[in-house]
Amino acid sequence: MPMQFFVPIPFATAAFTTQEPKSASDSPAPTNPGGAPTGSAGTTTPTTPPAAQPAPCMGTEMWYLPIAMIALMYFMVLRPEQKRKKQQAELLSSIKQGDHVVTVGGLHGVVSRLTDRTVTIRVESVNLTYDRVAIARVERDDAGTPPAKT
């Protein structure tokens, strides 16, 4: 047997009707002792429903917020990342034999051989082959002298 629910009438109708906010124009007009509504000059005035008001959501004065958020994200996140990638690509293309390099893993060595995709690094007497993207930085001596060995 299917279940049946009893919903009292006042609650059932309240769930399906929308209630507009009350304003001064929604209140009934004052009446005189005779029961007829009175206006400012004592004449009867018909009551008209208030004009429909727009929903209280994002209005035209807030159109600039999404644009400002996108611009902020570009200047705070995307642009610095693009600059960093460009600098890293320039660094990898400028590597030459004899440069002292440091890999992403922290290995220090001297470049002994280059190909398009790989770099062979000499560490003491061992040659290690890495991808070019594994080079984190190039340590160049601006005075032209090689760094001191420890």
Mean pLDDT, the chain, whole residue set: 77
Instruction: Using alpha carbons, list the distances in angstroms from residue 19 to 15, 22, 54.
Output: 10, 9, 15
What's the pTM value of the predicted model, to 2 decimals?
0.48
At 88-127, the pLDDT tens digits run: 999 999 999 999 999 999 999 999 999 999 999 999 999 9
Handedness of CA 94, 95, 100, 106 (dihedral sign): positive
- CATH code linked to domain 96-143: 2.30.30
- 137 forms bridges with which residues in the sheet? 102
Q: Look at residue 7 and tell me whether its pLDDT is greater than 80.
A: no
User: In the numeric block, which tokens belong to residue 111?
Assistant: 């470049």
Question: With bands split at pLDDT 50, 70 and 90, how would you rate the model's confidence at 63?
Answer: confident
- Per-residue model confidence (pLDDT) at position 123: 94
- Per-residue model confidence (pLDDT) at position 91: 92
Sequence spans of domains, the chain: 62-93, 96-143
